[in-house]
Structures are given as structure tokens and as C-alpha cells.
Chains A and B, each alone.
Chain A
Amino acid sequence: MQNAVSNETVLDGRALSGVVAAPVQLLMAGLIGLVILYGAVFVESPVVHNAAHDMRHSQAFPCH
């Protein structure tokens, strides 16, 4: 019984790192990138705007 449980755990651990297919991992990384870009470029809260102000102007993003 003990053996069976530990085998299952090992299989689960493998499944977690192996089952997420490469394309899904690439997609996830790209989506996180898009969320970061959205925050840095488009978020209009005054605090974010003021912190990112000089970068937005320098990168020619629409700012004001």
C-alpha cells in the first residue's frame, strides 16, 4: 500500500513537469509578456503614469 502511494506521487510529479506541452509554455510566457507591456504602456492610473512617464515619451508610446 505504502509503495503504491509513493509510486503515484512520483508519477504525479513527472506528470506536472512533462504534461505541460512546449507550445503551452511558450504561449504562457508570451501572454505574461503582453500583460507586462500593457501595464507599462497603457495603464492610466496617475501613479503608474508618473512612474513610467519618461519611458513612455522616450519609447514614443501615446502618453498624455
Chain B
Amino acid sequence: MLFRQIVSYALLIGVLSGIVVTAVQMWRVIPIIQSAEQFEHASAAAHSHDHAISGHGQTPWAPAPGLERTGYTLLSNVLIAAGLALVMLPLMVARGATQTAGSIWRRGLLWGLAGYTVFYLAPASGLPPEIPGAGAAPLEARQIWWLLSVACTASGLAWMVFGRSRWRWSSVALLLVPHLIGAPQPSVAPFSEQAPAVAAQLTQLAEQFITATAMANAALWLVLGLSSVWAVRRMLLSRH
């Protein structure tokens, strides 16, 4: 049954991509998050000293530092990769025979590049990846813009690549819509609450973070694209 095959392959792809992307994150991304958190905690401690206790009693559960936290990051990465595969595999199967022709590398890289553009390049060009502690526009506004950006880029690219109409190049307009509207911006500079020396260090961390996340996401989509094309070929060829 097609449904069961897709779910099984998506889980396999999720585990594989999740392990690879977690390894890249441990190498380049997590160290930056941890450095930023040290500044964040230092700043929070200073603030709570000033204003006494402003929390709402119990602090919510969070994974313990070390193995437990890494474990939950791995689990989240596996889930997100499996979720992405569950969305991508049906699209590829729906494209049918075109997916079984040509080099698996070329097709896998193209799907990976499309996913990277939709889920990283397009949203991150408006809302750069944030390190913890960075001030930003309200969360809800950013989530809505993020969704808009992903939806417009995905449908724009699909129309451009799969469309048959001679007007399909006008889909470029769709790609531009979220950027013409503009991503919600913070009202003040991201680290304005910090001392100038700390703000300079955090700005540097934020810049490194963009390169690091660009790399981790490229690794994710490389594995997702290639393994999804491999899975779809196995599924489609086994049906004949």
C-alpha cells in the first residue's frame, strides 16, 4: 500500500537525515547557541537582581544539559526531517514516471536545492536565524511571515518548474510577494539591552550563526533530497 510505504520510507529518511544534521549542528551550530545562552543567563541574572522575582513560580521542564539535551535535539531533527519527507515524497510520487528517469544524483540535488530554498534561503533572507537572547519582532508576526514566505516560495517554484503555461515565468512575482510585504522587524537593535562590548560580541556570534545554520541546513537538504529520490524510485519501480 502506497501510504504505508511512504510512511516507512519517511521514517527511514527522517532517522538518516536527523543523525547527519545533528552531527553538523553539534560541530558548528550548538557551540554558538551555548555561548549566546551564557550571555543571556548573565543578563537575566542581573535583571532578576534588579527587579526581584518576576517569574510565575515553577520554571517549566527543560532537558538537562549534555546527553539529554542532545537527545531531544536529535529527536526533534528526526521528527522535522520525517515530516518534511512526508510532505515531499507524495509530491514526488505524484510526479510519477518523470522521477524514475535520469541520474539519481542530479534529481536528488535539484529536490534538495528546492527544499533548501523554500525552507531556509527564502525565510532566512527576511528573518535571519536568531541566536538565543536576540531581540526580535513579536513571535506571532514572525511565524505568520515565515509561513507566508514558505507557502509563496513553494508554490512559486512548483508553478515555475512543473507548470505548462507560457505564463509560468510570472511565478517569479509570487516568489517576491513576501519580500515586498517585508518581514516583521524589531523596533530596537537586537542586542540594545546589553553593554556595548557584550553587544559587539553577540553581533559577531549572530553573524557566525548565519553561516553555521546555512551549512547545517544544506547538509539536511542534501541528505533529504538524495534519499527521497532513492526512496521514490524504489517505490515506483516495485509497483511495475
Contact = CB atoms under 8 A, between A and B. Distances in A.
Contacts, number: 134
B136 A23 contact: no
Interface in B15-44: 21, 25, 29-30, 33
A50 B64 CA distance: 10
Interface string A12-40: 00000100101101111110111011011
A41 B146 CA distance: 11
A58 B128 CA distance: 11
A27 to B, nearest CB: 7
Contacts of A55: 25, 73, 76-77, 80
Contact of A62 (B1, B87, B120, B143): B143
Residue among A25, A29, A56 having the largest count of chain B Cβ atoms under 10 Å: A29
B72 A52 contact: yes
A26 B195 CA distance: 53
Q: Which secondary structure dominates where chain B touches chain A?
A: helix
Given A36-B86, A58-B25, A26 B2 contact: yes
A23 B77 contact: no
Contact of A26 (B62, B75, B94, B220): B94
A47 B72 contact: no
A63 B76 CA distance: 14
Interface string B75-89: 111011011111101
A52 B76 contact: yes
B176 interface: no
Given A32-B86, A36-B82, A62 B63 contact: no
Interface in B197-240: 213, 216-217, 220
14 contacts: A25-B3, A26-B94, A30-B91, A33-B90, A36-B80, A37-B84, A47-B61, A50-B60, A58-B30, A58-B33, A58-B73, A59-B213, A60-B123, A64-B130
Interface of B: 1-3, 6-7, 10, 21, 25, 29-30, 33, 60-63, 69, 72-73, 75-77, 79-80, 82-87, 89-91, 93-94, 119-120, 123-124, 127-132, 136, 139, 142-143, 146, 213, 216-217, 220
Given A29-B89, A54-B29, 12 more contacts: A29-B6, A33-B85, A40-B80, A42-B143, A47-B60, A54-B30, A58-B29, A58-B213, A60-B127, A62-B127, A62-B130, A62-B136
Name the 4 nearest CB pairs between A and B, nearest first: A33-B86, A46-B60, A36-B83, A55-B76
